[in-house]
Amino acid sequence: MQVAHIFSPGFPARSVEVNENFKALADAITALEARVGALEGASLPVPGNYFLMGFQTGLIPAGQQAVIEGIVYTGSVTLHAGATPGGGPATLTLREAKNELHVGGEMASRRFVDVNETIEASWTLNSATGGLALILPDDQGQPRTLRFARGASRLHIGNHLNATDGSTVMLFLIRQGA
């Protein structure tokens, strides 16, 4: 940050020059406040386009057998502007690359699954934490909520434990562009 006028002892300071210096400082402070606000998440909600990356592991019991799974998620998420500042529709385009190992009984088998899908969902902000939540439709008709930690507007991190099937998911949403 530089100011336009430098003053020396013994020389009079003109008010117009002092005011120009103060304006330059005020503009710099305002710009810094905006940057800090964006980094601290004060600019939420954050409609826009995001890159999605995620990992899932699981040990899922199935009677006398079990499934050991490892899944990698990649894709994109668009958080559309909504009718309110705290939410709106979302579109997820995902690739799910799954490696399953079925064990138990007399046999073991391995299966690779590669799925591409588009999911229409919605997003909202958790009023208590300020964190992002994606509300996804579920196969059984119950919505599934993925919660992300409060953070900067460019990165959201979610860690999800599904106690019903033994899987754990780590998801990252990284904002594309400005």
19 and 89 belong to one structural domain: no
CATH number of the structural domain spanning residue 81 = 2.40.128
77 and 107 belong to one structural domain: yes
What average pLDDT score do residues 134-160 get? 77
pTM score, two decimals?
Answer: 0.66
pLDDT, position 43: 47
What average pLDDT score do residues 88-107 get? 89
Average pLDDT, the chain: 81
26 and 66 belong to one structural domain: no
Task: Give the range of the structural domain holding residue 91, as residue numbers without chain letter.
Answer: 48-175
CA 64 to each of CA 60, 61, 109, 164, 168: distance values in angstroms, whole numbers, following the listed order: 11, 8, 14, 17, 22
35 and 81 belong to one structural domain: no
The helix/strand/coil state of 25 is: helix
Count structural domains, the chain.
Answer: 2
List, for residues 123-136, the tens digit of each pLDDT value.
888 766 667 888 88
Candidates 130, 42, 58; CA nearest to 96 is 58
pLDDT, position 39: 56
Least confident of 9-18, 68-77, 123-132: 123-132
